[in-house]
Amino acid sequence: MKEIIAEIRQRTLEQLKTVTDSRSLDELRVKVLGKKGELTGMLRSMGQVAAEMRPQIGQWVNEARESIEQAISESQKRISELEMERRLESEKLDVTLPVKDRSEGSLHPMSLVLEKLFDIFTGMGFEAVEGPEVELDHYNFELMNIPKNHPARDAQDTFYVDDNIVLRTHTSPVQARIMTTRKPPIRIVSFGRVYRADEADATHSPVFHQLEGLVIDENITMADLKGTLDTFATRLYGEGVTTRFRPSFFPFTEPSAEVDLTCAACRGKGCRVCKGTGWIEVLGAGMVNPHVLEMCGIDNKKYQGFASVWAWKG
């Protein structure tokens, strides 16, 4: 019995030296130490051995088991390292290999125009500011000289959240927020989405964008407004594009004007784009109403200002 146990031990230790994967190691462990393994079978056959020999045989089996278990543990560490090396080798990525070029896309036309507009206005000393799209009625209407029950509110087709909160109908509340929190001189430009309950068609959308400009300082006149817009038109569309003012009405400006630009397609000669007029209406503008200045806490005897709003779908 001693020789058989020693032979099982020696044979198993030799086999462990050649095992190179976890699956084979586990199969060998079960074959020798499992419930039906060779050493376990030796213990089960103890009933056929003389009683005085059983303790000795049990000792030989346990010594062999301990030796084999220690060898299996050492083999497990060795095999784990080998398998990790194999995995790293199979999963490694050669970053020097050439890859297929992927298109990064391009900027949206609105983003391109917006970047250019900001470059134009910041180049003239304007500061870019933002305001909330969910706005208080106080800023959206009242400080813009559009009090409760004013007819202009109907023209705005407003989305109301409740009686005092709306989805802003224009970017002009940004002007009110700036005028109530800063002292002149003020020179800002603001861009963002606005909302009106319009039916969608070729010229209307429930969601569109506006670009708003505001200047408040001493001795500001309509000439400053026209000079600013002429500079904007030339830098955006090129030489030869100028502005034309037509009298209009906005509650927050007085006097007010609709502003046309020379048609960039025909340079004023008349074409399908401008319907033969040579002009295209692009924005509304005017001098800030003195009452608006007063409501926003600005001395309207000392300071004047102009504002302009350019709206487009998208």
- CATH number of the structural domain spanning residue 300: 3.30.930.10
Q: Please indicate, yes or no, whether residues 59 and 128 belong to a single structural domain of this protein.
A: no
Average pLDDT on 71-100 reads 83
Q: Please indicate, yes or no, whether residues 27 and 63 belong to a single structural domain of this protein.
A: yes
Non-local CB neighbours of 223 within 8 Å, separated by 6+ positions: none
Q: Please indicate, yes or no, whether residues 32 and 180 belong to a single structural domain of this protein.
A: no
Model confidence band, residue 90 (pLDDT cutoffs 50, 70, 90): confident
Cα gap 139→165, rounded to integer Å = 10
Q: Please indicate, yes or no, whether residues 71 and 145 belong to a single structural domain of this protein.
A: no
Q: Which of 62, 91, 120 is the last residue of a domain?
A: 91
Structure tokens at 119: 């470059």
Residue 180 has pLDDT above 70, yes or no: yes
Q: What is the largest CA-CA distance in the chain?
A: 124
Q: Please indicate, yes or no, whether residues 250 and 309 belong to a single structural domain of this protein.
A: yes
Q: What is the DSSP string of 136-157?
A: EHHHHTGGGT--TT-HHHHHH-
Q: Please indicate, yes or no, whether residues 56 and 122 belong to a single structural domain of this protein.
A: no
Q: Please indicate, yes or no, whether residues 137 and 61 belong to a single structural domain of this protein.
A: no
Q: Please indicate, yes or no, whether residues 143 and 290 belong to a single structural domain of this protein.
A: yes
- Domain residues for 263? 109-313
The number of distinct structural domains making up the chain is: 2
Q: Please indicate, yes or no, whether residues 174 and 245 belong to a single structural domain of this protein.
A: yes
pTM beyond 0.85: the answer is no
Q: Please indicate, yes or no, whether residues 56 and 186 belong to a single structural domain of this protein.
A: no
- For residue 22, being part of any structural domain is answered with yes
Q: Please indicate, yes or no, whether residues 122 and 61 belong to a single structural domain of this protein.
A: no
pLDDT at 134: 95
Model confidence band, residue 203 (pLDDT cutoffs 50, 70, 90): low
Question: Residue for token digits 């000795």?
Answer: 56
pLDDT at 182: 92
- For residue 55, being part of any structural domain is answered with yes
- For residue 97, being part of any structural domain is answered with no
